[in-house]
Structure 1
């Protein structure tokens, strides 16, 4: 079996592969939702297959991305921290986050048909950065505290800002410059009060992987992560389903939301619909509940663990995986190109007089054309990511946006090797 050059093998290949899987999962969520049977009421093969894929990808891909962001913080700063340049490490994270956030703001301003994760990710990176200097028990304590209390804090802020109705009827911060920061912290799609918990878990995962030191120990660690993560995700899913079976219908009847209940149980927008205790036990994607964070974190840890067991650090990588590895090493560029492609396709459909994407069972809304949603365009997006990976692997280069982010991170870390935080 041919293997990749040492330059590729010197990376933690399993992490690069996991990044690519996370990006592909988000592509699935973005490109298949509007053709899935549960959304459109369709019964054709594509609608049913899309339903299965969406069930696996929705929420889990972004959670894996969040855990990997914590892993990436450790990998990007390990050389600085190894020589005691603690303040420089924090500054480098800030420099990297500025680039990520700037691109996220530009993409969000273009109003793509998806929630852009980059601005939320950049803010969470800055908030989580001090954990790089903390012992692992502190990092774990922060993760648990935000896991158990983050959703309640987000709900409290949401109630103060929008009122306690399930669907907001007003905004206390309308027109205020504080609206965007509050979204980043608590009321947005990916609020820091729940996302930092997953970044903290990623920091612990990276420390464990780097500390394993041998392929044998890495494989044992990977299998352990797979078992623990799968168990956590499985328990969260079982508890969630039983809780919804027991309480959801009566709650919906009290709220007058019986017709909308299927959609409320499918996904959220950063918080659960209200503060009822049973919502915290559900694992509905993008709600930030205790169950949601447990399921998403479990899936993330399990996926990383499986890949670490298969390809431990310093293991020789099969050459056939080089494009996948290189695409995964450029997640910032890959994700940005994906969102740009979504923008172009949506604009083309609008220019052609396209209708509204169907979002309800049996909807009469116009179904999107193949270049907006479906397995065909998904294959092109995935193929495009592999083409990018093949080019980067062939030239042994970083992704363009990764290069810019690394340059600013290095610039921020360079001014002084101050010792006051040592």
Structure 2
């Protein structure tokens, strides 16, 4: 059971509601990409592909960092034994998310399940939990610029990605699994650390401040536009190099990428046939331009939800209800896709959306945390009490 919202100060309630609402949007966007075809009957890219592809998953990852920041002191990072206790709690939460992700990966859902990557992201975030925004935000920017270059250089000589969804069977080859999770998979943790670092930095800000929320909205939108426009300008010179270099066996979709290169999903990484691939801002490429663009869109969405939460709580409460239990609802969504309501069913997306609202709203109103969230919180609480008895971390979303 979560602490009742009514017992928290209004600023804290609005902050948590805004963060949860942004997380709810991320879940709905990811669900749309999983279910709605990328190409419409008329041969055009679908709205789900144009709006949500790459951006929803990035928002999900950035908000993981925000949540970790709020759970480890908010504006004032924990220190000493409380930080150690919180870190041990993060380890247990990460292991739970990782194992659930591997179990879901064994299902025939057609989804590149993010949870195993998400769990590893939590683990690698631990050394950064004691840092403040003044360090984390520049570090996120540096990581966004440098990590993709290092990843590209490494993958030029590395075995090709399998594009398998991590599952329990993957544990039989731990080296291959770790390489896929870190560098070559659908949501490669090494470059994706940029999202977590940015989220941690944002979570260290005064999120209950209207000025901060407005800055996130305006600054994020400006960053997103700047990265996209810069990519377009560079592609005017680089597209011919990309066309001549080709994909090198990379399963980009749709295949006719020349006409829609900035809206083509690349399944986690850009091809390594040319260094010019690093200038694209296309979804799931983890290039510098992709990372800066999606960090910008994620910050803008969070800022907008925080502004709305401070003025019209009732408007976004249903979204926040979903966002408060995304671990449970994402898992339910994957299970439903694996059999009961597959993506090919008529109106499948609307049915999935209706189910998550029908589950989340009464559960959030009368119970609180979702079942997987409650288990995760209980593990973290036990770890904190074991390491730092009587000292609790700041309430997270």
Please indicate the TM-score interval, normalised by the length of the shorter structure: 0.7 to 0.9
Q: How do 1:4-403 and structure 2 match up within 5 A?
A: 6-7=6-7, 10-11=12-13, 12-34=16-38, 36-37=39-40, 42-43=41-42, 51-78=46-73, 84=80, 85-162=82-159, 176-210=173-207, 218-255=209-246, 260-262=256-258, 266-274=264-272, 276-312=274-310, 317-318=313-314, 321-345=316-340, 369-371=344-346, 376-403=347-374
Once the two structures are overlaid, the 10-residue window that deviates more, 329-338 or 6-15, is: 6-15
Once the two structures are overlaid, the 10-residue window that deviates more, 181-190 or 263-272, is: 263-272
Q: Return closer, same or farther for 1:138/1:5 CA change in 2, 3 Å cut-off.
A: closer
2:167 corresponds to which residue?
A: none
Once the two structures are overlaid, the 10-residue window that deviates more, 122-131 or 248-257, is: 248-257
Kindly provide the CA deviation profile for residues 165-184 of structure 1, in whole angstroms up to 9, marking residues without a partner as x: x999xxxx9x8430011112
User: Distance between the aligned counterparts of 1:197 and 1:145, measured in 2?
Assistant: 8
SS in 2 for 1:55: helix
SS in 1 for 2:174: coil
**CA shift at 1:19, angstroms?**
0.5
Q: Return closer, same or farther for 1:369/1:135 CA change in 2, 3 Å cut-off.
A: closer
**CA shift at 1:280, angstroms?**
1.9
Give 1 or 2 for the bigger CA radius of gyration.
1
TM-score by length of 1: 0.79
Q: Return closer, same or farther for 1:414/1:297 CA change in 2, 3 Å cut-off.
A: same
Count of residues paired in the alignment: 368
Q: Return closer, same or farther for 1:126/1:417 CA change in 2, 3 Å cut-off.
A: same
1:361 corresponds to which residue?
A: none
Q: Return closer, same or farther for 1:99/1:203 CA change in 2, 3 Å cut-off.
A: same
User: Distance between the aligned counterparts of 2:320 and 2:7, measured in 1?
Assistant: 12
SS in 2 for 1:112: coil
Once the two structures are overlaid, the 10-residue window that deviates more, 303-312 or 246-255, is: 246-255
User: Distance between the aligned counterparts of 2:337 and 2:235, measured in 1?
Assistant: 34
Kindly provide the CA deviation profile for residues 341-371 of structure 1, in whole angstroms up to 9, marking residues without a partner as x: 111157x7xxxxxxxxxxxxxxxxxxx7434
Structure 2 unpaired stretches of 5+: 164-169, 390-397
Q: Return closer, same or farther for 1:331/1:69 CA change in 2, 3 Å cut-off.
A: same
Kindly provide the CA deviation profile for residues 287-340 of structure 1, in whole angstroms up to 9, marking residues without a partner as x: 10000001110000000011112224xx7722x644332221111011111111
Contact 1:81 1:89 survives alignment (8 Å): no
Once the two structures are overlaid, the 10-residue window that deviates more, 220-229 or 147-156, is: 147-156
User: Distance between the aligned counterparts of 2:5 and 2:135, measured in 1?
Assistant: 38
User: Distance between the aligned counterparts of 2:150 and 2:317, measured in 1?
Assistant: 43
